[in-house]
Structure 1
Amino acid sequence: MEEPSEYSKHFSHEHSLEYVKSSYDGDCICSGCEITITPNKFFYHCRDCKFSLHRVCYGMPKKVMHPADPHHHLTLLSPSSLTDQSNECGACGRCINGSFYYTCRKCCIYFHMLCVAMPLSMKIPISHPHVLKLEMKPPYGFKCGLCDRGSCSGWLYRCRLCEFDAHVSCAVTYNKYDSMGDDKYSHQDELMELLSQGMKGII
């Protein structure tokens, strides 16, 4: 994989960003997802102000096609473009305020950036033998097979073979711990770690 350049630009920020290793003690917050940047991890940082981005957040595409809106592209925007701070994420139900978000203006739908980044399918071998698929329109109430708690109004992971269901927060947390056995810390590991932190408290 090609190494990032020392300085680069991001569409959401006026200054150049430097690719550096974090030496902060937990007080550096990503401007993209509002999650703390872990010490000793590489990230993008503006020396002129407090703007910072995780590698994953920096690399999120400006436009994506996603099953949540199969007919239109979703466009990535910064929080400064959000006119209504009460807009709710169509995936998790929380308000979108200070973080980057994807939207389709034609359909008037909004999603947190990290919610759109959730894998469309995943395996959790320590908990279930089959692939779980991301369901964007749960047809019924359910009980999570990982935490035994009740249903939610947001997206979920489901095995259609045996009707095993899981909250997205539970699925990404279990998947994170299952994937951390690799010696090399990968882009996918960082994404799952951020998803696990961002989904805390959501069922």
Structure 2
Amino acid sequence: MADDSISAIDLFLKQISMGDNKRETELNHFSHHHPLILSNVQGDNNLCYENELLILNELNKDKICNACVRKISAPFYSFGLCDFFLHKWCAELPNELEHLCHPHQLILLKKPPEPRGLFLCSGCEYYCNGFAFRRIEEECMNYFNYYLDVKCAFLPKAIIHKVHEHPLFLKKDCVTGGCAACPRRVWMFAFGCDICNFNLHYTCALLPDTIKHRYDEHHPFTLIYAPIKDGPDEYICEFCEEEIDPNWWFYHCIDCDLSACAKCICTERNEVQNIK
């Protein structure tokens, strides 16, 4: 990538999808009543030319995948007339899943039986509206309304992070011991080292090193793990206008002296992202 501003989750999912070169040009998927056609922006001689043009026009409208609810990118399946899109990787999701953070098998649902299809993901603690993996009711009486969205269901089991010398392993939460990056006490997936009692919320662990934003068109915001040497006495978030505690990770541009707390800049990035 040209810079580090691309979401680590997006990059992780894209790398997985590139790992399999098998390409079925037409797919009957349980989530849609029409056959879905495979599209490849780089061109594919097996694809219908009219369908390719239709899909590429739709891409200009920033279409999203119906499964992971992230911006569509090639390769993907679609039926353009129905405005339905699936990343190739999402189209090949398993119907059942065993996850190390849940004791029982999870099943894939196109639309959870919740109001308007919204469900609270137990991995990230955000409301989601794409495909979901849900616990089997008769097996999980103690896990009421347990859901995982697509990205949380397929997080890596372990990562290497520059701030810690040991591998960090996926775990259910980091409430015990707290997150090393932020003061939030939330029950979300985390990556941790039991040897050192070091933990990071998974959203903190996957923060990009740099990110471009409309508040600073000329320089990227850089993720700061510790206070800046010889820097100002205080840092104010450009979004929430609250003082930033330099004991926690935050974003800063030294050239423009602009700062942002990680929570705010990532929320803004999801809404008005300027990622190339």
Q: Please classify the TM superposition score into its range, dividing by the shorter chain length.
A: 0.7 to 0.9
Partner of 2:191: 102
Q: Distance in 1 between matches of 2:260 and 2:237?
A: 4
In structure 2, distance between residues paired with 1:117 and 1:105:
19
Structure 1 CA distance for aligned equivalents of residues 274 and 251 of structure 2: 20
Aligned to 2:127: 36
TM score, norm. by length of structure 2: 0.55
> Which of 199, 206, 216 is the aligned partner of 1:128?
216
Q: CA RMSD in A?
A: 2.6
Q: Which amino acid aligns with 1:5?
A: P
CA distance in 2, matches of 1:164, 1:123: 12
Q: Deviations over 1:49-82 (max 9, x none)?
A: 333111121121111011221x211111124xx7
CA contact (8 A) 1:138 1:156 kept: no
CA offsets per residue over residues 117-147 of structure 1, 9 Å max, x none? 22222111x2211211211112353122334
Q: Does 1:58 align with 2:153?
A: yes
Tell me the equivalent position of 2:179. 89
Give how far 1:107 is off: 2.7
TM-score w.r.t. the length of structure 1 is 0.73
- Structure 2 portions without partners, runs of 5+: 1-87
Native 8 Å contact 1:89 1:112 kept in 2: yes
Letter in 2 for 1:143: I
Partner of 1:146: 239
Identity percentage of aligned residues: 26
Structure 1: runs of 5 or more not aligned: 182-203
1:76 to 1:155, Cα distance in 2 relative to 1, 3 A: same
Change (3 A) 1:29 1:148: closer
Equivalent AA in structure 2 for residue 148 of structure 1: E
State the Cα distance separating 1:29 from its structure 2 match. Answer: 2.6
Relative to structure 1, is the Cα distance of residues 180 and 5 closer, same or farther in structure 2, using a 3 angstrom cutoff?
Answer: farther
Partner-residue secondary structure (3-state), 2:266: helix
Query: Looking at CA atoms only, which structure, 1 or 2, has the larger radius of gyration?
Result: 2
**Structure 1 residue 104: deviation in Å?**
1.7
Cα contact 2:191–2:202 (8 A) shared by 1: yes
Q: State the one-letter code of the partner of 2:210.
A: S
Distance 1:180 1:32, change over 3 A: same
